[in-house]
Structure 1
């Protein structure tokens, strides 16, 4: 079997791995029952638990970058297996946590560091395997990451209702370790310089110069990197802010039941997944920059709708909430689907494992500040609404940066 054919099987195994680690986005379903459990044993309140999700999303670049150096030189199998043990083990041992500190170590550090190893390795490896479909494959691989967050909230909610939150952590953690470990054995490293059969690189087609491959040092010397990283931070901010506390927002601001809120979290994850695939496809067809302009516009519209949804009551409030999270989910998914291929297209595929890990610092920043700002605004004002205005301002900055980058591209064309 040729490598051009075999890569599709590697893609399937990679999607299964990302499907598993996407369970991190079900955190908002765990937050309330875990806060109640910790309170019963003398632990933390709901508001303070936001730091757990914040840590989990902030530490990823550490292992993405370190794992990227190994991935560029060796098989990704060991990295994914190690990351799977860290990720699943972090969820598993969260079932033994009796304090906020223990939960930060297990779920925050364990799952966060494990996710960084797995996600960075899988995405970078598949982008190298598919230089002919960077946007689409980036969308598919990251979409599989989002699919689990469609499945997991109602499943976790049912398991929590039947077994309690601590037992649910143990069950899910064990399953994730087994699935990721098994899938890792079907993933191979993309050979350096791989070119799919029947495909000619665009530079060779046009006879123009081949774009420079930049390692992390060269990337950091390029001003475009800092613009792109800020765009990623601005683009991911609203998504991570809403995802981190979607269930409490649905219950407290809109008045949904816990079960209805879990359905809303799954819906948010579904549109997030859809956004990754669609944006990846569009970026291959119309270009990354044009796609990103539309993404930021959709995000800003969604934040406005979420802000006003809190002023309505009953069915109108629920409808507006769903419209708002649809926009946020689509935009967040699009950003995550586009950026692996966007980074490779700008700085080359050869060093993309490390380069994308460094670029992911933008995501980590939004993963820290998004949930933190929302939690602090809720604590100080008693409402989530003002957080949407803050996020709207940040999305507007991302929109302006994208327009600036678009203008620069037109000048250099």
Structure 2
């Protein structure tokens, strides 16, 4: 209590169950500094799930609606920070969606304070994790699309963070329904973000374009605007997820005839084949641990026989040097004799031999990186399958058929995609 009172940026906190209701009473005070201190203390308390559950079950979330319209930008920003903290839990996201806070939150997307805008984007991005949240945000899609134009006039560091959050929210909502974004000229605006200098922005822009390419109207707009030429550059991007999203857009667009024609004209077949080659998979694999000769011999023969083999190898090497060099002779004191052998009691007993299953410790791949590489290869295989429905593409892929037949995939989904591609290539009318 004394520590809380000594901190001028935080309000005094009551004891026990009275702490949260007392702070909500402080939010009604006319002094903006007292409201900001109460919000800061609430953010500290609501890190505990029990306090968050108490706040939501008491129905106190709705009281934050007036603070979102507060004239003080600091109060608005800290209120959004509090909502962002609440949305980190599923019960908090459901409480926000069932309240009437989305309307005042959407009004803060044009707030003059950059920190407040970023906090709003964080809340909306968290809400879009739920299907019900993405559905509730569909009405905000035209406004989010409009924000893509306005972010170009902001500072670089602020613009980048806003762009990443905005594009991520837009991608999740468009996966549920892409028509609102397509109706708002979303493909043309997203195309400009595909060449952004930040890998995070390119990744989210490609993910949003992937969502827009699912309906037929999205495929037509991508072909009409020539987006496939931009995707050719993204397929060579150093970021794996950017390449995977770009390959996914190609996979969806090649379904229609216009997409197949543009893909053949741009020469996308060699690029896609390079991405499904074993070399691309080997870049993400950890090389096997190499063992020195002595360790290999110990695991093969055991410590005692290894010592004898080492002595034999040393003697053979000495005799070989004498025959080849002639004048270079190893002194007798360095020869391995019976006296220089390791005593029996100092040798490693047979029981300490390393078991077969623990000899070479295996290093596992990063699961997230493995998932990205699998998505990249799978999208490329399916894109080639859709493209090979055209006779000209089948003729070009026919000479690569032996390489694809030698492709060995342990993953059943990748193996099935490769077999499907081979069947389509081999099809004859």
Which TM class, normalised by the smaller chain length?
A: under 0.3
TM (normalized to structure 2)?
0.22
- Higher relative helix content: 1
Larger Rg: 2
